[in-house]
Amino acid sequence: MSNLRFKIARLRRGLTQRELARRVGVSEATVTRIETGRFVPSGALRQALSEILAVAAYEIFDSTGR
């Protein structure tokens, strides 16, 4: 299952996957895996991503992190 809300939030901020990955300190592949639902980010990573994307974590991730 893809994480469309996460991808939309990234695009609204005008960030590429590479730019977001650099800002949060993960690989571009990790961002791709999050967007495609193949990786569930930890609580700390969800928080960091939500801060960079300027949205609440619950708005872009469900309770399982997807």
Q: The domain spanning residue 54 has which CATH number?
A: 1.10.260.40
Domain-located, residue 66: no
pLDDT band of 65, cuts 50, 70, 90: low
| Cα–Cα dist 58/49, whole Å | 11
pLDDT band of 13, cuts 50, 70, 90: very high
> In angstroms, what is the C-alpha Rg of the chain?
10
Task: Mark out the alpha helices in 1-66 (DSSP H runs).
Answer: 4-12, 17-24, 28-35, 43-53, 57-60
Question: The whole model's pTM is what?
Answer: 0.89
Domain-located, residue 46: yes
User: Based on the structure, what is the number of domains in the chain?
Assistant: 1
Domain-located, residue 39: yes
Domain-located, residue 56: yes
Domain residues for the domain of 37 are 4-60
Say if CB 9 and CB 63 are below 8 A apart: no
Domain-located, residue 18: yes
